[in-house]
Amino acid sequence: MADPQTQQQQQQQPMGPPRPPQPQSFDERYVQAMESLISAITDLPQWPQQNATKVGKLWWMVDFIGRTLHMFDQLKITSRAQQKELRRDIAERTIFQEILITDTTGKLSMMTMEQPGRQVDFGEEVVRRAKLCNQVMKEANFGFEGEGEH
């Protein structure tokens, strides 16, 4: 009769070398990057007030990014004929969100009717994550050649 402790040790030993993590699909990387950007914005201290009033550039950007994610989700049910246009729209919105987040001219503040002296600085982390969204999209050549990884 086998020793129960030996059997338990044998069962706990992995079978073969550990598997490397599977590369994520473009869809997973893009959604993860966009959700990470939303999270970084909603972590800012001004978020609760802007979310409560549905006013301000944080709230506006979260809404804009969320709508882009919804469009991305619609690719699954969009006809092939319309996918190219939708892909381009998504790519353009992803580029535009970075432009808005890194804007230093005050245009986003004017668009969102943010009061002078009450402007919100997105900070380095939000800017980094906005750039990551574009990087993921560009690496897959999404939206512009029509033949990305997607």
By residue count, the chain amounts to: 150
SS3 content of the chain, % helix, strand, coil (to 5): 65, 0, 35
Beta carbons of 19 and 126 less than 8 angstroms apart: no
Look over the chain and give the mean of its residue pLDDT values, rounded to a whole number.
85
Distance CA 40, CA 36 (A): 6
Domain boundaries, the chain: 25-139
> What pLDDT does 97 receive?
96
What's the pLDDT tens digit per position in 2-16? 555 655 555 555 566
> What pLDDT does 28 receive?
93
Q: How many CA atoms lie within 13 A of 105 on its CB side?
A: 5
Nearest of 40, 59, 63, 43 to residue 51 by alpha carbon: 59
Could you tell me which residue, 115 or 90, shows the higher pLDDT?
90
Report the sign of the C-alpha dihedral through residues 24, 30, 31, 36, in that order: positive
The DSSP string of 35-57 is: HHHHHHHHTSTTHHHHHHHT-SH
Could you tell me which residue, 106 or 139, shows the higher pLDDT?
139
Burial environment of residue 12 by CB neighbours within 10 A (0 to 12, 13 to 18, 19 or more): exposed
Q: Residue 121 phi/psi, 5° resolution?
A: -95, 125
